[in-house]
Structure formats: C-alpha cells, structure tokens
Structure 1
Amino acid sequence: MWKIAALMPLPPEVIELVFAPLKGRADVILPATRDRAGQHAALAEADLAVGDFTGELPMDAAAVAAAPRLAFLQQPQVGVDTCDLDALTAAGVVVANTAGANTRSVAEWAVGAAFALCRRLAWVDRRMREGGWPQLDIGGRELHAQRVGILGYGAIGAQAAGLFHALGCRVSYWSRTPKDGAVGEYLALDDLLSTSDVLVVTVALTPETEGLVGPERLALLPPNALLVNVARGGIVPDEAVLAALDSGRLAGAALDVFEGEPLPPGHPLRSHEQVLLSPHTAGASAQAQMNVIGQVMANLTAVLDGRPVEHVVNGLPPLVHRR
C-alpha cells in the first residue's frame, strides 16, 4: 500500500470523500497537528504527498529532509512558490501542479474586480449600508474605455487578455518573451506600466519577479490608474500599493493576494477606502475546485497505475517510482 500525506486544511470527512477512489490501494495520512511537527511526522512515512494550498505548511528544505520516502509531491494549485524546488529535485521528488485548473476562474475574477473598481461598487455598497445615498458622489468610468495592461502572459494572463479584449478594451501585455498569437500588443515592462489605466498582475512569483513592481514602477502608471493583483503579493509589495493609493497615483486596487497571508487584522489595507479585498480566492470557484480535485486524483491514480504524471514543474521524469 502506498502512503499519501494529505496536508490540505480540510475536514477529515472531506479528505475521506476526496480520496475514496483510492481506497484499498493507498493509505491517507493526516497531520495530527497543523504545525511543522505534525507536517514532518506525516511526511516521515509518506511515499506521496498532496501539498497545503494555504502555504501554512510549506514544502521547504526542512520538510523535504523529514520525508525520506517521498517520491512525488502534488500541489493542489498552480503556484509552487511555497516549495523548495531545488531541495525536492535534489531528493528525487517529482513535483506537479494543477496547471490550467483555475485559469478561467482567476481571469473572470480579474475582469469582475476591474468592473468593480471602475464603478466603485464596493465603496458605494459601504456608503449605502451606512445609511447614505451617494448618488451624486459616484462618478466612475466604463471598462471598455480603459487601456488594460496584462503583466505576465501565462495561461491566466492570456485568458484575462481575451476577456478584456472581448469587452472592447485596448489590451497590451508584458512577459519575458513575446507570445505568438497573443491578444494585444507586446510592450517593454516600463512602457506597459506607463500606458495602463488598469494593470492586471498575473505573472508567477519567482526570485526574478519578487518586488518587480515597486514604488518606482508604480510611479510610471498614468494618474488614477487601477491595480488588479491575482498573482502573488510579493510582486507588488503591500507598502508600495498603500503609498501609491495615498499619493493618488492609484485610484483603486483589487487585491486577492498579499505579502503575508492571512492579511493581519488591523493592516492598513483592510481599512483603505479604495481597496477591494479578497482572501486569495480568485481561483476558488466551484468549477475550479472540481478541476483541481480531478487533476490531483488523476495524477495520484497514474502513480499507482505505474503511468506518467502530468504537469511536472521541476524537470524530473514523470514516471514516479517508489523509493
């Protein structure tokens, strides 16, 4: 029997339901406690693992060292920034993500957030709940008239670009290299920023992109620009966002991600009137969650069947062998 460490923070009854198709072929191990000690104890006897999508239990070098039998790590998300890929690769652990599972969900959230910022929907809702009637104070702008810049042109960036283009927006994008058949015009990074009324951040967090859009680059944005971040908080630092909002360079920001998650109580972003907040759930639609579960189970089943897994992200051969 293969042993699978399930590190996601889900109720045991949900874990049992998710892994029911593997009953009789694999044993599922849950951490006794939601801390590093519990994680390491579960990994100590695991052949396979499904990672923690919250990042609370990262697969760092210490976790890899605690897992001498681990042969395969399945991340139940696209991002692998909580994994030490070098340590995992050196240990011979094949790592896979769920590429494409939440692409539409995140892209639709980005478009919806841009609509909300343009029409100040969250601000108006708060005033109404307070008893106000801000009919003469709303203003707002129509999304189709905005120049939209997509920062990062992976699957989510491409999907978002297509949706914005379909709404009539002028779309430009930046990525490390231009993309054949891309929607919109490829621009150098600083040129993209200087011509984006709405900047949508979808690029993956890597050592090269951490802090990519700091105070200097935010200052390149047109006056009263809007920011939508569905990537990772570290790409556009929280303090830089706050400073740009307070200076008026940013007229609003829709943030699904933050440098530290959960966002601490009392953090200035929580009380800023021009910010639309979301708890890292842009990719958590019902359809996306089903897609993620489907990909996780398909890869685990492939391992048990002796077939190659899909969406390997660390360059190791996709056929997983018991260690």
Structure 2
Amino acid sequence: MQQCQDGLVYELKNLRLELLTKSEELEKTSAELERLGLAERTSIAQREEQEKEEQLELEATASARELEMQREIMREAHRQFLSVLEVSDRSYSSLMSTLRQCGVAVDKNNESWKKSPAFEIMEKMRCTGQHEVWNSLASFEADRKTVVNCLRKRFDDALNFMCNHMNGLEEHHEQNLLAQKSEADALIAEARHRSSEKVSILNKAINDMKDEVAKHETAHNRLSKSHEALKKESGKLRGQLSDLQIEYGKKQDTIAELADNASVLKTQLHNCDYRLSETSQELSDANVHIEEKTRSIAEKDIQIEVLSHE
C-alpha cells in the first residue's frame, strides 16, 4: 500500500513538472513568433516609407533646382534689359552733350530749336530708342509672365502630385494599421485558445489528482477501521491476559499451562502492538500524502486563476 501511494505521488509530481515545462515552452515559442512577425512587418513598412520619402525628396530637389535655374534666367534677362536701357540713356545724353558743345541750342521750350533739323533728328532717335526699349520691356515682361506661369503650373502639378502621394501614403498606412490590428487580434485569439487548452489540461490534471486523493482517503478510512478493530482486539486480549493472571494466582497447580497461555497471549499482544504501530505509521503517512495533494490542488487553482485573468 505504501509503495503504491509513493508511486502515485511520484507520477503526479512528474506529470505536474511536465505540464509546467510544456506550458513554458509554448509561451516562449508564441512570444518569439509574435516578436519576429512584428519586427519583420515593421522593417518592411519602414523601408517602403523611407524609399518613398527619398523619391519625394529627389523630386522636390529637382523641382527646386529647375526653379532656381529659371530664376537665374529671369535675373540675367533683367540685367540685360537694364544694360540696354543704360546704353540708350548714355547715347541720348552723349548726343545732347555733343550738340551743346557744337553751339546748338537744345532748349526744349525754344521754338527755333524745335523747328531745326537737329531737333527732328533727335526726336526720331529718341522715339526710336524709346520704342525699342519699350518693345524690349514688353517682350521681357511677356517672357517673364510665360516663365512664371510655366513655373507656377509645374509647381502646382508637383504640389498636387505630392498631395496625392501623401494621401496614398495615408491610405496605405491606414491599411497597414488595419492589417496589423487584424493580425494582432488573430494572435490574441490564438493565445486565448492556447490558454483555454492549457486551462482544460490543468483542470483534467486537477480532477485526476482529486480522484487520487479520494482513493487515498478511502484507503485511509479502511486503515482507520482496521486500526479501531485492532484496538478493540488488543483490549480484549489485554482483558483475557488479566483474567489469566488472576486465574494463575488462584490456581497454582495449573501454573505451567497458564504460563504457556500467558506467553502465547504476550506474543499475540506483541504482534498486535506491532501491527498497531504499523497501522499508526501508515495512517500518518496517508495524512502527509493527503496534505501534499491538498497543497498541489491549491497551487493548480491559483495557476488557473492567473491564466483566466490573462
């Protein structure tokens, strides 16, 4: 009986250690898989976003470079226009100075000067120069407006492209978030399923242990009944021994037979005491095993509560 109980206790301990080891291995494996999946998805998304940002930066840099080139062209045209205007002013001033040096009156209010051939020549030259300057200015203004409109159109196109691209990135990011959320929900559901399986396994193990405890309690009850029966038998034998001792005192002539009977009864009493001590030891061992099983059941209940909260 004792060896059977020890074997059952040893098997239960091995089963509990095996269950704990398997549960730890499953948790480590699931955590590693979740970490690897999240890290891979994060690296792919970051790499795609980085490539798109680099492409946008290259396009923005090219647009800015082209805009700067157009601005430089406009500044160069403006400098040329100013130089032409300056040359025209210098030519007109030089001609007026030459006429003054030659003694020609160049007073604008002088009627004789206005009627002179030099005045007509000067007016033609001045009108021609102003006309050319104004034509150059109008051409430059038209070119400037054309360039500005072209640059504005290209800038608007680039801005629209960037806005559309950013909207596409936002939609892609939202889709990635939804996909990650669905994957996380699936992982959580799988983890809950595994946790429920672990709880069912632990419940089965606890029920088995409860059955074993019930068997041990039944054996304990049987041992208790045997112990009580041995106690009663020992009391009876002790009474018989006392009766024989009284009879031995009264009957000296039958002392040998009574001595033999007394020795036999002593031997039986010794055997009963030995059996009583054995049953007492078995009863104490059974109590110890029952306490160990009760503590093990309490530990399993705590583990079930922890898993249920998770």
TM-score tier (shorter): under 0.3
More helix per residue: 1 or 2?
2
Larger Rg: 2
More strand per residue: 1 or 2?
1
TM-score of the two chains, using structure 2 as the length reference:
0.17
Structure number with greater CO (CA < 8 Å, separation at least 6) is 2
